[in-house]
Every structure is written in C-alpha cells, then in structure tokens.
Amino acid sequence: MANPLQFSRRGFVHALAVISAQGFSSVTNFLMGVLLARACSRGQYGIYVQCIAFLSIVSGIQLSLAAYPYTIRHPQLDGIGQKTYLGSILVLQLGIVCMVALLFLVGASGLSLLGGVPSVVGTIWVLSVAGPVFLMRDSATAMILARLHIWRNFAMVVGGSVATITGLAACYATGRLTVPVAFLVFAACMGIPIAFTVLLGLWSDARVCTECFRGDIGQNWRIGKWLVARTFANMAAVSIFPFLLGSFHGAQAAAIYGVCLTYANLLNPLIIGVARFFRPRAAHACAADPRRLQHMTVLCVCGLSLLLAVFLAVTIGWGGRLLTVMFGPKYQGLEKILVLAVVANSIGVLSGPLAIAIDVRERTGATLRGRLVGCAISVVLGVFLVKHFGPLGAVVALSLSWAGTGLYYLREFRLLGRLRQELHHEQAAASA
C-alpha cells in the first residue's frame, strides 16, 4: 500500500513545480513590459499593451475551446481513445494558431497598402510568428499538465523563460530593444522548447483519426462554448468599472481603482499556478472517484483562504504604505478602497476551485450562469454605487459581483455533492 505521507510530499513537490513554472512565466511577462516601457516611447509601449491585450483575449478563447475541454475529457478515456482525442485536439489547436497567424499577415499587408504607421505595421508582421508562439505556450502548458507531465512542463516554461529574459536583457543593454525585437526574442526563445515539448510530449502520443475528428470537436464544443461565453461575461463584469468611473468621475478616479486592483492582484501568479495544478488533478479525481473531487476542492478552498487571510491582514496593517511605495505619494489615503479591493479579489479567487469542480463534471453551463449573476450585479449595482461613491463604490460593487457568483457556484457544488450521494445510495441498494 502506498504511503499517504509520501503521496502528500510528492503532490506538494508537483504543486511547487507548477507554481514555480507559472512564476517564471509571469516574471517574463512583467520584465518584458518593464524593459519595453523604459526603452520605448509611450506610443510604442501602447502598441505593445494593445497587442498583449488582444493575444490574451484570443488565448482565453482557444483555451476554452481546446485545452480546457481536453483537460476534462482526457482522464475519462482509455488507450486508443486518448490517442485519437489528443490528435483531434492538436489538429484543432494547429488550425487556431494558423488562423491567428493568417489574421496578422492579412492585417499587416492591409496596413502596408494603406500607408499605416511603420512601427505598427512592423509589429503586426512580427506577431504573425510571435502570436502563435504566445498561444502555444498557454495551450501546451494546459495540455501537458492535463496529462500530469509536471516536469516536462517545468522544463519547457522555465527554460524558455530564462532564455527570453536573457535575450531581452541583452537587447536592452545594447540599446536595440523595440517592440518588434521583443516579440522576436520571445518567439525564438520560447518557440524552441515549445516545439520540442509538443513534438516529443504530445504529437508522439497522438493519432489523427479523420472519422473521430468531428465527434471529438463536437464534444469539445459542447463543453467549450460555455467556457468562451463565461470568459466574455467575466470580462464584462470586471471591465465595466473603469469605464463607469471615467464617465462619472474622470480619469483620476479610474486611476485610483486601477492601482488598488493592481495591488490586489499581486498574488495572481501564485493563484494562477494553483489553478493550473488543481484543474487536471480535479479532472483525474472526478474520473476516478467523485468523492475525491469534493474533498480536494474543499482542501483547495481552505488552503487559499488561509493564504488570502494573511494577505488581507498585511493589507489592513501596511497596505497604504505599500501602495505608496509602489505607486508614489499621490496615492496616499486609499486604505479603505485598497482593503475592499483585496476582499473583492479574494472572493473571486475562492470561487475559482468551485468553478473548476463544476466544470470537470461537464456542467460548464452552470458556471456561465453563475458568472452572469455576477455580471448582472456589476451592471445594476455598479452604476448606482460608482455614481454616488466613486472608486469606493466600484470595489464594493465588484465584491458583491464576485459574492453573487461565488454563492451560485457554492449552491451548484453542494447540489452535485447531494446528487453523488443519492447515486451512491441507489447503487448500494441495487447491489444489495
């Protein structure tokens, strides 16, 4: 019999490896932004920010359509079924990145013919190569972790991140860093480990079956369409507040909200790493024994609660001073808004494991409905609270939005637990 302590130690090491890999990825993104902000003009840096925002949206869509449904369905299949399903998903993923590359090529060609700004046109040309690499980094990470290949993912992400940071630093030191150069460095340094990992870790285990492709993609669409819709619902629920603040109180109010939310998101690399570790584990647990999924979700929520409680305590005690150190003395006196921003973010983080547990039961439509509840709260209460209370009203509305979503997820999670118990009792009665 396996030693439970040994299993826990191994699980902790694997979790640490996934979180560390995510940390390297986040640091790479952060340093790329910092170095470009220092090396480029505001206009050039704005082009970079817009490109990253666009790629992030596309990445969320492709993950919802391909990698996340794969994470859910992969543990449910055996042998040849896993191989043909992997082949179908890789073909789908290849089609997505080719479409994105073609979109950038067409866009760059069109702007060139219309006499577009050379810096913009050059960046879009480069994105026809760097964009697919950016998307493949996220999808390859999710699919490799779905197969529980922890160290293969660690080598890919850490190796590519270290090479990217080194290349960016060298270009910055020699005065050659521009937005197109930064994307080229990223594509070269991350593309090589991604290519090796995809070819050796995914394509080598895949089998393309034309007869199975339509059915596999249909199953993915059945799960993924709700995840895509949830992505847009989440964007609407969160992104509405800067626009409301700008409309009612001006850009300075939006800036206050922005810096407080930026501080509240300081733990995001860690949180994303935990989610990337938990999602495939939850899918495998659900396929093996749904009771394990319930226990794992509760443990994950409890662990995150402890971490977020410590962060909240630090914010209550020293948050105002930390905010001033980070953003300057012009942001003094925002302690109330800052604490409520951390509370709002914490509620959203704690709803994450519940959403994953519901998703792996293939009830992604339920998680969409939960986010639509939060979106409705953001719209209905957000207008009133922002109009009358400014940034303070915005973080209160955001807290209520996430609370509405979290309560819906909790209700759905408990309902699934009761259904599992009833099914277990019926099976026990039938066997008796």
Distance, CA of 432 to CA of 430 (rounded, Å): 5
Instruction: Give the mean pLDDT of 231-254.
Output: 88
State percent of the chain over pLDDT 70: 95
CA 64 to centroid of chain Cα atoms: 10
Q: Residue 55 and residue 134: Cα distance in Å, rounded?
A: 8
Per-residue confidence at 87, pLDDT binned at 50, 70, 90?
Answer: very high
Chain position carrying tokens 């226990």: 295
281-338 pLDDT, tens digit each: 999 988 888 788 888 999 999 999 999 999 999 999 999 898 888 888 888 888 999 9
Long-range CB contacts for residues 305-313, cutoff 8 Å, separation at least 24:
305/350, 307/267, 307/270, 308/267, 308/342, 308/346, 308/349, 308/350, 311/266, 311/267, 311/342, 311/346, 312/339, 312/342, 312/343, 312/346
Residues 6 or more apart from 92 whose CB is under 8 A from it? 65, 66, 217, 220
Q: Give the residue, 53 or 17, on which the prediction is more confident.
A: 17
pLDDT at 255: 85
Q: What pTM, to 2 d.p., does this model score?
A: 0.87
Burial grade of 223 (CB within 10 A; 0-12, 13-18, 19 or more): buried
Residue 64 CA to residue 70 CA, distance in Å, equals 9
358 close to 416: Cβ distance less than 8 angstroms:
yes
What integer pLDDT is reported at residue 211 of this predicted model? 86
- For the segment 20-45, what is each residue's pLDDT rounded down to a tens digit? 999 999 889 888 888 888 888 877 88
b/e sequence 278-300, b meaning 16+ C-beta within 10 Å:
bbbbbbbbbbeebeebbebbeeb
* Model confidence band, residue 420 (pLDDT cutoffs 50, 70, 90): low
pLDDT for the residue numbered 3 = 43
Mean pLDDT of the chain: 88
State the pLDDT at residue 5.
Answer: 41
Band of residue 432 on the pLDDT scale cut at 50, 70, 90: low
pLDDT over threshold 50, residue 74: yes
- pLDDT at position 1 over 80: no
